[in-house]
């Protein structure tokens, strides 16, 4: 997954989990956004949690192809405000805060917490 254009998207965990579970829709989507997508430290941790230690290296190699956004004080403060306002779980509040802080669109299938008709920073790239 190469490229080098400006970042446009923040990939939510479910997109990468779908890929690792063999969902071709996710694999095609990841290939189509190569170079313009990032992931968060939240996504990295959530995805790697699903792998045994011997397989985590292979998964990590794919994750390493995407810039990884960390959580700093402004993002943490924004996440706290979003959690209060939206009543999201903290990982979802961090995802939303990172996307909003960096001016990115959050790519997710989590329409329960992130209905795209209510949250303009959300895109649902495919349905299963």
DSSP line for 45-102: HHHHHTS-HHHHHHHHHHHTTS-EE---HHHHHHHHHHHHHH---HHHHHHHHHHHHT
CATH number of 9-123: 3.40.50.1010
CB 124 within 8 A of CB 109: yes
- Report how far residue 81's alpha carbon sits from residue 124's, in angstroms, rounded to the nearest whole number: 24
Compute the average pLDDT of residues 51-65: 91
- Report how far residue 57's alpha carbon sits from residue 61's, in angstroms, rounded to the nearest whole number: 6
pLDDT, tens only, 42-52:
999 999 999 99
Domain spans of the chain, in order of start: 9-123
pLDDT for 5: 64
- Report how far residue 77's alpha carbon sits from residue 125's, in angstroms, rounded to the nearest whole number: 28
Does the pLDDT at position 10 exceed 50?
Answer: yes
Does the pLDDT at position 1 exceed 50?
Answer: no
Return the H-helix or E-strand segment holding 28: helix 24-32
Which residues make Cβ contacts (< 8 Å) with residue 97, sequence separation at least 6? 75, 76, 78, 79, 82
């Amino acid at each position: 997954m190469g490229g080098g254009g400006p970042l446009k998207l923040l990939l939510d965990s479910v997109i990468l989990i779908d890929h690792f579970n063999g969902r071709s829709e996710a694999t095609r989507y990841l290939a189509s956004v190569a170079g313009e997508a990032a992931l968060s430290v939240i996504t990295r941790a959530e995805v790697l949690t699903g792998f045994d230690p011997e397989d985590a290296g292979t998964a990590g190699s794919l994750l390493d192809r995407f810039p990884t956004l960390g959580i700093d004080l402004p993002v943490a403060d924004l996440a706290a405000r979003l959690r209060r306002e939206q009543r999201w779980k903290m990982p979802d509040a961090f995802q939303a805060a990172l996307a909003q802080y960096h001016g990115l669109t959050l790519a997710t299938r989590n329409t329960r917490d992130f209905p795209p008709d209510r949250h303009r920073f959300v895109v649902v790239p495919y349905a299963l």
